Structures are given as C-alpha cells and as structure tokens.
Amino acid sequence: MTLGLIAGTILYGSELFQGAEQRRVETPFGSALVLAADNLVYLPRHGLDQDRYILPHRINHQANLAAFEQLGIKRVVGLNSTGSLRRDLVPGTIVIPEDFISLTNVPTAAVGRALHVTPALSASLCQELAQAAARAGVEVVQGGIYWQNPGPRLETKAEVRLISGFADLVGMTMASEAAIACELGLEYAALCSIDNFGHGLKEEPLSEEQIRAGARLNREKMVAVVRELVLASAAAGGGPPAPPGVPGRS
C-alpha cells in the first residue's frame, strides 16, 4: 500500500528517495510536484528549489492533497517542524498530535458545492506512526494539540501566552493539510518535530537559525520513523500505484 508523505526541507537529500521519479500532477487547483519511489510518494510542501522556497502562507494545500487523491493514495502523513508551547516539551521531542486548532485562513477544496466536514486526524494512522516509532527505537509523545499560525512570521510573546492555554505545539501548515485531506476523503496523521521553544518560554530571543538547527537534529529520528512506516505499509499489500493520465514530468 503506497503511502503519501508531505514534508518540508527536513527530507531534502534523504536516502528514502534515491532513484525517485519527479512527476508534475495537474489538479483542478493547480499543479503539484511529487517524488515517486517504491511504496512512497513524497510531496515537498515548500518546493525542491531552496532558492525559491514556498512560504507557508503561499502553499497550495488544495493542489497538494488533490494530487494524492488523483494518484490513488488514500493515506497521507505530514512531517512538521513545530515550536513548543510547554516547557516540558523540549526541543528534540517528537509528537504525534491528536487534534488541532486553526481559526484563520482555513483553505478548502469545496468549490461550487456544499460540503461540511468535521475535521479529524486519523486515529488508526496515528497508532501506526506510534508503532513505527517503537520499532525504530524513537521515543514519541502521543497526543497533544497543534495550533496553526498562518505565518510566515513567528508568534509574539503575548500570542504564545494566549495559545499555550489551548494547545501544546505550534506550526504553520499541518491543520490546513489535515482539513483538506478530510474533505477529499483521505486519512491524515502527523509526525511533529519540536525544534524550538515558543517565543518567550526562554529568556533568549528566538531566531530562525535556532529553528533550522533543531530541525537538523531531529531529522534522523523522523526519517527512521518514516522508514519503518513505509516498510509496514508495503507489507500490508500492493505496490505503488500506476496512475494514468499524469501529464508532464519535471
């Protein structure tokens, strides 16, 4: 069973995608670039060109999730770099959230039709992630609430104090992906890397370089969990889909 994976720069250059084929998938919402490997299709949410990085508020989430739907992929995992809203969730922690909050700029794949879904993360896929982490020897925190900030700026100290009363980690992409996945009938779960403390939780000011350094430190843990999940998905049956009519290749 082929797994869909959405991630940012954390997977650039990963051995998981050696020999992967780049494909440009055209959807009703625009095109999406994917890398197709055995039993895994990876969609780089920020693009592959690090000199033309797609900022969080400019990501075409509708096209990204619709691409998986068109490729016949029903199960999608997001890898997300996040900030901690709790002092006991220290950088280096890996979290599998159970729910999310997103109150602004919520995208939708519902165009010209009435569609009201109740968004939720896939409990079964969350459990598979936890089992994959155990097999990989990676300690994870199961549960917790993800708060989505539209970005691209980070949160103020006052905002962190506010949202920490309702959530445990903060990021800029996961809730949008999860909501659209529900609209399209896809299972979605997330593996979140805590790469920094939220602004104001520590005395020293938060910098972009701190966030990038934290992501680099967590990279191998995330890759190890994904590797185990892909192996389990492949063993569950079926190889990668052979989607017809995928126009163009980049």
Check residue 245 and give its pLDDT. Answer: 34
Based on C-alpha coordinates, what's the Rg of the chain?
Answer: 17
Distance CA 128, CA 149 (A): 27
Kindly state the percentage of the chain with pLDDT values over 90: 63
* Percent of the chain scoring above 70 in pLDDT: 88
Res 237: pLDDT: 62
Does the pLDDT of residue 197 top 60, yes or no? Answer: yes
CATH fold of 3-235: Rossmann fold (3.40.50)
Contact 166, 104 (CB under 8 A): no
**pLDDT digits 0-9 by tens, 160-171:** 999 999 999 999
- Rounded to an integer, the average pLDDT of 17-21 is 80
Average model confidence (pLDDT) for the chain?
87
User: Is the Cβ–Cβ distance between 157 and 200 less than 8 Å?
Assistant: yes
Average pLDDT estimate for 98-121? 86
Per-residue confidence (pLDDT) for residue 96, from 0 to 100? 98
Count other Cβ atoms within 10 Å, centred on residue 42. Answer: 21
* pLDDT surpasses 50 at 185: yes
Q: Which two tokens stand for residue 226?
A: 């994904």
State the DSSP H helix or E strand holding residue 187, giving kind and residue range, or none if neither.
strand 187-197
* Residue 13 in this model has a pLDDT that exceeds 90: no
Q: What is the mean pLDDT of residues 76-105?
A: 94
- Average pLDDT on 18-31 reads 90
**Does residue 104 register a pLDDT over 80?**
yes
Q: Is the pLDDT of residue 72 over 90?
A: yes
199-250 pLDDT tens trace: 999 877 666 666 666 667 788 899 999 999 999 888 876 444 433 333 332 2
Asked if 39 and 239 count as a contact pair (C-beta separation under 8 A), the reply is: yes
- Interacting residues of 144 by C-beta distance below 8 A, sequence separation 6+: 89, 95, 96, 97, 98, 167, 168, 169
Residue 81 has pLDDT above 60, yes or no: yes
State residue 244's pLDDT score: 33
pLDDT of residue 35: 92
**ω into 205 cis (within 30 of 0):** no
Instruction: Return the closest-CA partner of residue 42 out of 248, 247, 229, 169.
Output: 229
pLDDT at 115 over 80: no
Q: Are 93 and 141 within 8 A, CB to CB? A: yes
Rounded to 10°, the helix 61-70/174-183 angle is 40
pLDDT tens-digit profile of 26-54? Answer: 999 999 999 998 889 999 999 888 778 89
pLDDT at 207: 66
